[in-house]
Structure 1
Amino acid sequence: MATRLLKPAIARLSLVAFLLLPPAVNGAQDADDAFLEGWERYQHYTRDNFIKAIPHFERALELDPNYARAHAALAAVYIESWWNAWLIVDGGFRGSSEGARKHLKEAMQDPTPLALRVASLMHIIAGEYDGAMAEAQRAVDLDPNDPNGYEAMARVLIRVGRPAEALDFIKRAEKLDPQSRYLLRLGVAQFHLERYEETVATMLKYSKRHTDDFQPLLYLAAAYGYLGQKQNAESAFETYNKIRVSLDRYPATSAMDQVGIYYLKDGGGANKTVYIRGCLKPDSNCRQRLWRHLRKGLP
């Protein structure tokens, strides 16, 4: 009973404040301990750690089925594994998306900034950018001391072509939680602001921390291309391809892999790096543009 009485108050705390809570009596924080075990895994942001995080969040819900933050964390794990195409559950990618929707529905019964960040991402996936921005703003308003709202807002602003505005939100997220994925958001914003040397430095730093995340490698390769560093661009694409294959994302013949194999092979040229950058614009329809261009350019 103590856990159920304590939990709603805890669930509304920022993660920073949550970590500073004193130990509870009579085992009241067992569910919280399980959550923190899972959260520690989640923050490593690799497929293996996502897999290891799930049982801890599920254990927290066994102890307290109404634990909103644990539902939100599971929703985050599932939708972000789907976004990264990391196969982590039975049922494949569909299982991940269904799991995300299920747990987000429960989490939104008592919304936290984490739940609203997940909701914002779901809107982005659906192409509903007004909804994504609204959920991100709700997260910021709900708890200005929680980094999730600022990270969500930065993501949306970059997505709608406003990277300069995203920088302030990225800085706030970093200040509140240096372990957040602010470096990825920063690197993407720098890229779209055409600050390519900074993009390279940021994405290299991020990639060392998150070795399973292939996303920064595309921006890294394109930034190298703009800087005229063809060999480094090829290396970034090669690493990207290896990660995708090892994580069962797509076979090595997918569209962006073809770009890595052919477009930066034996020359490339400014027109091809410009094209690659164009495909990384947040408002572009990348897949169709890639295939259309590949049909013309590949042997």
Structure 2
Amino acid sequence: MTPEDSVKALPYFEEAIALDPAYGRAYAAAAMVHARLYHWRWHYHLGMTRFEARAKASKYLRSAQRHNTALAHQAAGLLAEADWPHPEALAEVKEAIALEPGDSWSYALMALILTSAGRPAEAIPHIRTAIRLDPHYPAFFMYVLGLTEFRMENYEAAVEAVERSIRLNPEDESSLLVLAAASGHLGRRSEAEAAVARFNALSVRRGGTVVSIATCPPLTSPPLGVKTHEDREPLREGLRLAGVPESLMNGEFTSRNRLTAEEVRSLFFGHRLRGRIFDGEVHEAAISAEGEGTLSGGWASIRGGRMTGVEMRFPGDEVCFVWLDTARLCGLVLRNPGGLNAKENEFVWYHGDIAFTFSQVQ
């Protein structure tokens, strides 16, 4: 249950399919990997967009469903849950339990879906059943238990569960965020800040940025089981109490890491820049030595994915891409401490609440 291990697992399932094209569980496992990549927004680890991850999950699932297994229903349930049709997701996991009532993962996924649907009290018996069926439970089970307790505002119990999850899987970003928010609510500022620091280190190492209330994808996606403003507020408030800033566009982080206009000119002019945002879409900029160039991907979204003849300007503290004196994309350029050229996230250009990570690639 880490993005790195999910990517490593996939070739083995593909090899299993090649060895035995009638082996249904191999298709189901490949579908589950892609469903996880889609659900937890890990798709960029395979260099694909989130849409592509979902399409691949659906493709493998169609083959898997010709061979009725609990794993196929689990993958279908997780894929449905990622898009929020809770009734469909619940129906798939119920089918998985009916087929193989001894499979602990079905009960854990049922608990996740119920919690996500705003029914955490109903989820508790299911996650307890999953833990009873598998005494050597994986970290994910403790994460689901912690998330469920958090949704019921049982913050002490949430901390206990996600701390166990983190001991089993120190690479679990979602558990670290729940730990930070729950510790914040309990007034344990030092523990909350330590959890945030560990999350930030993992996020940057994996190609992202440090967390803020405005730019943190898990706050508005299914992994933390929140979808409405009312659902999100306990998490947001807990993270605020943990010291997470509302935005990275002002405050200490910005003052410490903002590039000057001259540093931006040196970084951009005469070079090609590339990166990805959390949905996996690549953005590129090819800038001439005179400050003119071409934008593509997310950096050119206002013109359908490509803009030529773009001019760079530096009004005040911002860096702007200007096209035909009509379209302007402006934002701050900051260093991303800990970012790597291999992950193309050494710098961040903030436009609104979107963090465009990038590196100089030429």
Give the alignment's TM-score, normalised by structure 2: 0.58
Quote how far apart the aligned CAs of 1:288 are.
9.8
Quote how far apart the aligned CAs of 1:213 are.
2.0
The answer to whether 1:117 aligns with 2:61 is no
Query: Gaps spanning 5+ residues in structure 2: where?
Result: 237-244, 252-362
Residue identity over aligned pairs, in percent, reads 31
The answer to whether 1:284 aligns with 2:243 is no
Quote how far apart the aligned CAs of 1:92 are.
4.2
Quote how far apart the aligned CAs of 1:284 are.
1.9
CA distance change for structure 1 residues 83 and 254 in 2, over 3 Å: closer, same or farther? farther
| Matched-pair contact (CA < 8 Å) for 1:138–1:149 | no
Query: Which 4+ residue blocks in structure 1 deviate beyond 6 angstroms?
Result: 286-290
Aligned equivalents of 1:258 and 1:231: distance in 2?
21
Q: What's the counterpart of residue 179 of structure 2?
A: 220
Alignment match of 1:236 (pick from 195, 199, 221): 195
Q: Residues 1-299 of structure 1: matches in 2 within 5 Å? A: 45-86=1-42, 87-177=44-134, 178-180=136-138, 181-248=140-207, 250-252=208-210, 255=213, 282-285=226-229, 294=246
Question: In the alignment, residue 55 of structure 1 is paired with which amino acid?
Answer: P
| Matched-pair contact (CA < 8 Å) for 2:183–2:189 | yes
Question: In the alignment, residue 189 of structure 1 is paired with which amino acid?
Answer: T
CA distance change for structure 1 residues 258 and 192 in 2, over 3 Å: closer, same or farther? closer
| Matched-pair contact (CA < 8 Å) for 1:113–1:148 | no
Quote how far apart the aligned CAs of 1:256 are.
5.3
Question: In the alignment, residue 25 of structure 2 is paired with which amino acid?
Answer: R
Aligned equivalents of 1:247 and 1:287: distance in 2?
27
CA distance change for structure 1 residues 92 and 208 in 2, over 3 Å: closer, same or farther? farther
CA distance change for structure 1 residues 286 and 70 in 2, over 3 Å: closer, same or farther? farther
| Matched-pair contact (CA < 8 Å) for 2:39–2:78 | no
Query: Gaps spanning 5+ residues in structure 1: where?
Result: 1-44, 260-274
Quote how far apart the aligned CAs of 1:131 are.
0.8
SS in 2 for 1:88: helix
Quote how far apart the aligned CAs of 1:69 are.
0.8
| Matched-pair contact (CA < 8 Å) for 2:226–2:232 | no
CA distance change for structure 1 residues 288 and 141 in 2, over 3 Å: closer, same or farther? closer
Comparing both structures, which one devotes a greater share of its residues to helix? 1
Quote how far apart the aligned CAs of 1:255 are.
4.2
Aligned equivalents of 1:288 and 1:145: distance in 2?
34
CA distance change for structure 1 residues 105 and 286 in 2, over 3 Å: closer, same or farther? farther
Q: Tell me whether 167-176 or 77-86 shows the greater mean CA deviation.
A: 77-86
Number of residue-to-residue matches in the alignment:
233
Aligned equivalents of 2:225 and 2:23: distance in 1?
38
Aligned equivalents of 1:174 and 1:158: distance in 2?
16
Quote how far apart the aligned CAs of 1:149 are.
2.0
Q: What's the counterpart of residue 328 of structure 2?
A: none
Quote how far apart the aligned CAs of 1:167 are.
1.4
RMSD: 3.0
Aligned equivalents of 2:159 and 2:62: distance in 1?
38
Give the alignment's TM-score, normalised by structure 1: 0.69
Aligned equivalents of 2:211 and 2:199: distance in 1?
13
